[in-house]
Amino acid sequence: MQKRTLGKTGLEVSALGLGCMGMSFSYGPPKDKQEMISLLRTAVERGITFFDTAEVYGPFTNEELVGEALAPLRDRVVIATKFGFDTSVDPRAMKGSGPVLNSRPEHIKEVAEASLKRLRTDVIDLFYQHRVDPDVPIEEVAGAVKELIQAGKVKHFGLSEAGVQTIRRAHAVQPVAAVQNEYSLWFRRPEEGLLQTLEELGIGLVPYSPLGKGFLTGKIDANTTFDSTDFRTTLPRFTPEAMKANQALVDLLGRIAAQKKATPAQIALAWLLAQKPWIVPIPGTTRLERLDENIGAVELQLTSDDLREIDSAAVRIKVEGARYPEKLEQLTGR
Dihedral angle of Cα 138, 144, 145, 151, to the nearest 10 degrees: 170
Q: Average pLDDT by consecutive 10-residue portion of the chain (334 residues)?
A: 94 98 93 98 98 96 98 98 89 61 98 98 98 98 98 98 98 98 96 98 98 95 92 94 95 96 98 98 97 98 95 94 93 94
| Amino acid 87: pLDDT | 87
Q: Of 27, 57, 183, 208, which is the active-site residue?
A: 57
Residue 334, in any domain of the structure: no
Residue 68, in any domain of the structure: yes
Compute the distance between CA of residue 321 and CA of residue 39 in angstroms, rounded to an integer.
33
| Enclosing domain of residue 279 | 3-329
CATH number at residue 184: 3.20.20.100
Residue 265, in any domain of the structure: yes
| Amino acid 90: pLDDT | 64
Residue 81, in any domain of the structure: yes
Residue 35, in any domain of the structure: yes
| Amino acid 263: pLDDT | 98
| Amino acid 88: pLDDT | 83
| Amino acid 144: pLDDT | 98
Q: Residue 324 catalytic?
A: no
**Which of these, 29, 40, 92, lies nearest to 63 by C-alpha position?**
40
| Amino acid 92: pLDDT | 56
Q: Domains in the chain: how many in total? A: 1
Compute the distance between CA of residue 145 and CA of residue 140 in angstroms, rounded to an integer.
9
| DSSP helix/strand/coil, 6 | strand
Residue-by-residue DSSP string for 161-198: S--HHHHHHHHHHS-EEEEEEE-BTTB-GGGTTHHHHH
**Which of these, 106, 87, 91, 5, lies nearest to 50 by C-alpha position?**
5
Count of residues in the chain: 334
